[in-house]
Amino acid sequence: MKLIFKGPINSTSLGNVSVNILKELFALDFEVSLFPTQDLIDTSVFETDKSFQDWLEQSYENRFISCEKNTPTLQVWHIKNSGERLSDKSFLYTFHETDSVTLSEKKICETHDKVFFSSSFSNKNFTASGASNTKFIPLGFDKSFSTLKNPSKLEGQTHFSLMGKMEKRKHTLEIIKNWVKIFGNDPAYQLSCLITNKFIPNNIINQSIASALNGEFYENVNFLPFLNTNKEVNEFINSVDIDLTGLSGGEGWNLPAFNSAAIGKTCCVLNATSHADWATEENSVLVQPKHKVKSHDGVFFIEGAEFNQGNFFGFTEDCFQKSVIKSLARHKQGNESGKQLQTEFTYKKTVDKILSEIF
């Protein structure tokens, strides 16, 4: 079987999705014409065997020779920049994070034979907008993440984590601000934040954090640098007791929160957007959204632009406090229900569903 594949192969969330899809295509013995975003293959973040790495490089080197007009193209990318066709048949796997669909987004989606959304929420929004060529196909669990037998743990402390780029969408500063109101400078608790954002200068990130905390310093809140490999991220997740990443107000899936729940961590999760596709009362501490927040932040979501308009979902301070207190009791029980996510959602299932639509 032959397929043209276009997508990022790097350390981003989309890069992780691309590599996991490509691993499944490799296992199925596909001949792939590989067009990586920016002509860059960077697998340094992943643990890959030599046969897969050789296949990737060969698929890239032979991309023009093997590329044919009637071979279907699968892109993993944002809607905005997905309009370029490499063959007659075009399929897009994409992510959408707001509650609204712009005309430009709808029109671009209609240029593809089929558009696969990682979120049923997004798929419903596009169907409601009049798009008739979309389908919800969930992501899978990345097998490079696992429960370690002897993880490094903080002695005598309940360890909280917050992961993902610092953004208004993810309620990053709001989460930190609310957490310190409950646990700030209490030595029994620690919050580790992995919130680097390469699109925002470090001095701006530091200023934003300082402003959110009213210039106060908290000994039990630490900010980690970017972790270079999935192995390091897995070790970090294993060191944690309770994860707060799922309190984001708009997600296409939320890989860090999903991975945390799937290896058995207690996770506080806002029951909205893509979270509703995998988070349940059994595997997460669900927080019901109480209001909506305008999406524009002046950086990633620009008011009045052709793309990424609408709202995110929000929570109240009271809801945050109740969920965190509930999580303290839940984490002592473990999260066996969360571990079931590893078999409920797999990349094999993801790719099988994609291929059934393409072929």
Residue 86 within any structural domain of the chain = yes
pLDDT tens sequence across 113-136: 999 999 999 999 999 999 999 999
Instruction: For residues 58 and 173, state if they share a domain.
Output: no
pLDDT tens sequence across 41-89: 999 999 999 999 999 999 999 999 999 999 999 999 999 999 999 999 9
Residue 149 within any structural domain of the chain = no
Instruction: For residues 71 and 171, state if they share a domain.
Output: no
- Residue range of the domain that includes 71: 2-140+347-358
Instruction: For residues 183 and 271, state if they share a domain.
Output: yes
Residue 145 within any structural domain of the chain = no
Average pLDDT over residues 175-179: 97
Residue 83 within any structural domain of the chain = yes
CATH number at residue 310: 3.40.50.2000
Instruction: For residues 249 and 332, state if they share a domain.
Output: yes
pLDDT value at residue 32: 98
pLDDT tens sequence across 212-239: 898 999 999 999 999 999 999 999 999 9
The answer to whether residues 241 and 264 touch, using CB atoms and an 8 Å cutoff, is: no
**Cα gap 19→22, rounded to integer Å:** 5
pLDDT tens sequence across 178-197: 999 999 999 999 999 999 98
Nearest alpha-carbon partner for 223 in 305, 213, 20, 53: 213
Residue 151 within any structural domain of the chain = no
Residue 199 in this model has a pLDDT that exceeds 90: no
* Number of domains within the chain: 2
Residue 202 in this model has a pLDDT that exceeds 90: no
Residue 327 in this model has a pLDDT that exceeds 90: yes
Instruction: For residues 136 and 177, state if they share a domain.
Output: no
Q: What percent of the chain has pLDDT over 90?
A: 97
pLDDT tens sequence across 330-346: 999 999 999 999 999 99
pLDDT value at residue 98: 98
Instruction: For residues 263 and 241, state if they share a domain.
Output: yes
Average pLDDT over residues 261-285: 98
Q: What percent of the chain has pLDDT over 70?
A: 100
Instruction: For residues 352 and 332, state if they share a domain.
Output: no
Residue 100 within any structural domain of the chain = yes
pLDDT tens sequence across 17-40: 999 999 999 999 999 999 999 999
Residue 174 within any structural domain of the chain = yes
Residue 273 within any structural domain of the chain = yes
Q: Tokens 């072929």 sit at which residue?
A: 359
pLDDT value at residue 198: 85
Instruction: For residues 353 and 339, state if they share a domain.
Output: no
Instruction: For residues 23 and 77, state if they share a domain.
Output: yes
Instruction: For residues 121 and 175, state if they share a domain.
Output: no
Average pLDDT over residues 160-184: 97
Instruction: For residues 84 and 168, state if they share a domain.
Output: no
Average pLDDT over residues 150-157: 93
Phi first, then psi: what are they for 146, rounded to 5°?
-160, 165
Instruction: For residues 222 and 328, state if they share a domain.
Output: yes
